[in-house]
């Protein structure tokens, strides 16, 4: 099955977003399994016969290095990994640890997308400031990052439908009809 994986700092809103994504599609059966033998586990959400969403352990303020070691093997093997979703807190914007995650993805040459979370918690002005800063960062400092930033709130469900469509697209679940 094609895979997508979600990474981000602890508390960025990753589990809430995954829940929000799936609660909008109750018709699809989701099965969760864990990687055996890992202390900080990755969760695998098998979504029907369509794709698997891999939930990576959240990285901490002081432990980005541990995180890299933990997920390195997975990311380097990355069988069928179609896209990685890097979650960034919409209230505080890109932090040092997020930059380390970006460096890791760039180094491995993995295509990824940035998702700005908790946008309901940021004022319009702050949100705009963070969005502009991230767009600038993506343009200047990255190669593998998709240029469009996804803005989501798992509380208000804003942006969640669009993200679902994007996941469906990158996992090959929105086939286009061939023109004859």
Interface region with ligand GDP, contact rule CB under 6 A, candidates 5-13, 94-102, 106-114, 165-173: 5-13
Interface region with ligand GDP, contact rule CB under 6 A, candidates 24-32, 100-108, 140-148, 149-157: 149-157
Nearer to ligand GDP, 43 or 173 (CB): 43
What is the three-class DSSP state of 92? Answer: coil
Q: Is 58 in the site for ligand GDP (CB under 6 A)?
A: yes
Q: How far is the CB of 177 from ligand GDP (least distance, A)?
A: 35
Q: How far is the CB of 39 from ligand GDP (least distance, A)?
A: 16
Q: Is 132 in the site for ligand GDP (CB under 6 A)?
A: no
Within 24-174, residue ranges assigned H as helices are 64-77, 96-108, 124-141, 160-170
Nearer to ligand GDP, 42 or 173 (CB): 42
Q: Is 159 in the site for ligand GDP (CB under 6 A)?
A: no
Neighbour-count burial of 5, counting CB atoms closer than 10 A to its CB (0-12 exposed, 13-18 middle, 19+ buried): buried
Q: Which of 57, 66, 74 is nearest to 15 (CA)?
A: 57
Q: Is 153 in the site for ligand GDP (CB under 6 A)?
A: yes
Q: Is 135 in the site for ligand GDP (CB under 6 A)?
A: no
Q: Which residues are registered as beta bridge partners of 54? A: 5, 44
84-123 residues in contact with ligand GDP (CB under 6 A) are 117-118, 120-121
What is the three-class DSSP state of 58? Answer: coil
Q: How far is the CB of 99 from ligand GDP (least distance, A)?
A: 18
Q: How far is the CB of 22 from ligand GDP (least distance, A)?
A: 13
Q: Kindly state the tokens that stand for 64.
A: 């980005």
List the one residue from 4, 5, 7, 12 that touches ligand GDP (CB under 6 A): 12
CB contact burial 20-37 (16+ within 10 A = b; e otherwise): bbeeeeeeeeeeeeeeee
Q: CA 30 → CA 1, 33, 52, 119, 122, distances in Å?
A: 14, 10, 9, 26, 31
The site for ligand GDP (CB under 6 A) is made up of 8, 10-16, 58, 117-118, 120-121, 153-155
């Amino acid at each position: 099955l094609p895979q997508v994986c979600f990474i981000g700092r602890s508390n960025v809103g990753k589990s809430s977003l995954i829940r929000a994504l799936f609660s909008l599609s109750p018709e699809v059966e989701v099965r969760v399994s864990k990687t055996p033998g890992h202390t900080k586990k990755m969760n695998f959400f098998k979504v029907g016969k369509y794709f698997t969403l891999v939930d990576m352990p959240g990285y901490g303020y002081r432990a980005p290095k541990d995180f890299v070691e933990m997920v390195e093997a997975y990311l380097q093997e990355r069988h069928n990994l179609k896209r990685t979703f890097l979650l960034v807190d919409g209230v505080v914007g890109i932090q040092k640890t997020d930059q380390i995650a970006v460096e890791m993805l760039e180094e491995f040459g993995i295509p990824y997308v940035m998702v700005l979370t908790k946008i309901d918690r940021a004022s319009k002005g702050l949100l705009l400031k963070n969005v502009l800063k991230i767009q600038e960062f993506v343009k200047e400092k990255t190669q593998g990052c998709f240029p469009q930033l996804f803005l989501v709130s798992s509380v208000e469900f804003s942006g969640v439908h669009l993200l679902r469509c994007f996941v469906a697209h990158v996992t090959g679940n929105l086939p286009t009809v061939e023109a004859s």
